[in-house]
């Protein structure tokens, strides 16, 4: 019978989102204009569902300097020198200033050459229109795929920022070259430390090893967080908005510090979990009855928010089929055990956000849908990013170690991008 079951006569019984006004049965309603548009709500609803999923699954992007641009391809972020000071201003002594006081340069961050897109093809759009379970799953997958890809791009640039070094023309430098003279006391800028196994040998087992090894590595990571915060204070960088991204395994190892792993640990009574919400142990974390098993859960240690991510950290994105965008994103991050950064270190650009398009392909008798986003990423302040590596980086200085981590074929194998200001 027409209008019941799956054999619907759309010419006589138009379905919501379909147009049966004398067109081929099953034809899609126009998306704009005319009376036929009265029942075309499925596309706007679908677009909203994808956008909600896209916003829900992004993790890194809200934790960096995120901007949206409506026109153009490049956004510039200015840097300035330090203001001059006269130690003792004598009578009749003219203050003339200097070029270094007023000179301003910028770091330019551009959109990628092409957008990233998730796409699929349906031969039964009726399910897309009428079945919430079917449509919501497609929306979730489309939004999550784009969110994951964009998150991995931002995460890869956080790792890249941990390998970039300060440029010699930066007016804020404490010294030109790490062995140079400190010519101005008000200049404090130096490269952020890189925490490899020469900092603490236990970092080799960060997220990989037996219970004791991983616990020691987790404690070494907490020590690195303390050193990073000291570094930010010494260079007069912002001390709020500090984050550390680790794998879910490492996150669990940090959460479980102090939890008994064998019967010998229970001698004299159970210990006090370090992140168990115990007031006498610093009040860190929450009671162990709380799972904290969602990817959105976090811990806080001395003002640093520790988050977990299954992206980038410990992953090789350089191989065929592992690409997450242009070549500048596709590095080998398998030796990266954690990333520590301040929010202003990396910029993420988006051009007008997420876009969803769909077309009824009469030649294929299908409906083709594409969700795309145009983004871009750039390094702003490499001095505010440190990498935690599970092996030793070669180099006699911090700058040499960071460069080795970024460019060496055995590590990330990426080209330098933070090389000049305009």
pLDDT digits (tens, 9 = 90+) for 200-210: 999 999 989 99
pTM of the model: 0.82
Residue ranges making up the domain that contains 319? 60-81+102-123+150-407
What pLDDT, on the 0 to 100 scale, is given for residue 176? 54
Most confident of 10-14, 46-50, 251-255: 251-255
Q: Please report, for residues 126, 301, 312, the alpha-carbon distance to residue 228 in angstroms, rounded to integers and kept in the order given.
A: 55, 12, 21
pLDDT digits (tens, 9 = 90+) for 54-78: 777 788 888 999 988 888 888 988 8
What pLDDT, on the 0 to 100 scale, is given for residue 269? 60
How many angstroms separate the first and last alpha carbons of the chain? Answer: 71
* Domain assignment present for 34: no
- Band of the pLDDT at 129, cuts 50, 70, 90? low
Q: Choose among 234, 191, 203, 224: nearest CA to 340.
A: 224
* Domain assignment present for 72: yes
Q: What is the helix (H) or strand (E) element at residue 108, kind and residue range?
A: strand 104-110
Are 251 and 299 a contacting pair, CB within 8 Å?
yes
Lowest mean pLDDT among 148-157, 272-281, 285-294, 299-308: 272-281
| Average pLDDT, integer, range 48-53 | 72
* Domain assignment present for 204: yes
* Domain assignment present for 1: no
Q: What is the helix (H) or strand (E) element at residue 161, kind and residue range?
A: helix 132-161
- Band of the pLDDT at 130, cuts 50, 70, 90? low
**143 or 234: which carries more pLDDT confidence?**
234
Cα separation of 369 and 339, whole Å? 36
Cα separation of 140 and 131, whole Å? 14
- Band of the pLDDT at 7, cuts 50, 70, 90? very low
Of all residues in the chain, the percent with pLDDT exceeding 90 is 39
β-bridge mates for residue 155, sequence order: none
Cα separation of 273 and 366, whole Å? 57
What pLDDT, on the 0 to 100 scale, is given for residue 45? 56
* Domain assignment present for 312: yes
* Domain assignment present for 53: no
| Average pLDDT, integer, range 382-388 | 96
Strands 242-246 and 304-308: parallel
Res 142 pLDDT > 60: yes
Helices marked H in 197-314: 211-234, 248-255
| Average pLDDT, integer, range 187-191 | 82
Residues 6+ apart with CB under 8 A from 206: 214, 217, 218, 220, 221, 246, 250, 337, 338, 388, 390
Domain count within the chain? 1
- Band of the pLDDT at 295, cuts 50, 70, 90? confident
Res 31 pLDDT > 60: no
Phi/psi at 243 (5° precision): -130, 155
What pLDDT, on the 0 to 100 scale, is given for residue 245? 96
- Band of the pLDDT at 287, cuts 50, 70, 90? confident
Mean pLDDT, the chain, rounded, equals 81
Cα separation of 299 and 284, whole Å? 8
Are 77 and 345 a contacting pair, CB within 8 Å?
no
Q: Answer positive or negative: Cα dihedral of 338, 229, 104, 69.
A: positive
* Domain assignment present for 49: no
- Band of the pLDDT at 408, cuts 50, 70, 90? very high
* Domain assignment present for 368: yes
């Amino acid at each position: 019978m027409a209008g019941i079951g799956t054999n619907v006569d759309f010419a006589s019984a138009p379905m919501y989102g379909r147009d049966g006004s004398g067109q081929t049965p099953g034809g899609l309603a126009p998306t704009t204009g005319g009376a036929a548009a009265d029942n075309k709500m499925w596309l706007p609803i679908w677009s909203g569902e994808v956008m909600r999923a896209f916003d829900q699954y992004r993790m890194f992007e809200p934790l960096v300097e995120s901007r949206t641009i409506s026109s153009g391809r490049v956004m510039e972020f200015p840097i300035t020198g330090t203001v001059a000071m006269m130690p003792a201003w004598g009578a009749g002594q003219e203050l003339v200033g200097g070029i270094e006081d007023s000179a301003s340069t910028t770091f330019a961050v551009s959109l990628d050459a092409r957008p990233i897109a998730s796409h699929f093809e349906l031969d039964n759009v009726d399910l897309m229109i009428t079945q919430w379970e079917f449509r919501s799953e497609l929306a979730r997958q489309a939004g999550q795929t784009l969110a994951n890809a964009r998150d991995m791009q931002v995460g890869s640039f956080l790792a890249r920022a941990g390998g970039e070094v300060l440029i010699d023309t930066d007016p804020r430098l404490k010294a030109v070259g790490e062995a140079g003279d400190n010519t101005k006391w008000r200049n404090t800028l130096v490269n952020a430390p890189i925490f490899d196994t020469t900092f603490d040998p236990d970092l080799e087992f960060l997220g990989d090893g037996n219970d004791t090894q991983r616990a020691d590595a987790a404690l070494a990571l907490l020590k690195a967080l303390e050193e990073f915060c000291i570094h930010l204070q010494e260079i007069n960088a912002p001390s709020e908005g500090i984050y550390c991204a680790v794998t879910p395994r490492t996150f669990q190892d940090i959460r479980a510090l102090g939890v008994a792993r064998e019967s010998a640990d229970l001698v004299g009574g159970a210990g006090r979990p370090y992140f168990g919400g115990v007031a006498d142990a610093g009040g860190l974390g929450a009671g162990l009855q709380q799972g904290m098993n969602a990817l959105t859960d976090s811990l806080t240690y001395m003002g640093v928010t520790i988050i977990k991510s299954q992206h980038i950290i410990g992953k090789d994105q350089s191989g065929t089929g592992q690409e997450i965008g242009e070549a500048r994103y596709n590095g080998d991050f398998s030796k990266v055990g954690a990333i520590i950064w301040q929010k202003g270190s990396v910029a993420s650009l988006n051009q007008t956000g997420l876009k969803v398009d769909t077309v009824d392909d009469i030649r294929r008798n299908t409906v083709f849908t594409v969700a795309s986003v145009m983004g871009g990423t750039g390094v702003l302040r490499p001095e505010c990013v440190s990498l935690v590596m599970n092996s030793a980086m070669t180099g006699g200085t911090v700058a040499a170690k960071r460069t080795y981590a970024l460019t060496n074929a055995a590590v990330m194998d990426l080209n330098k991008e933070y090389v000049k200001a305009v």
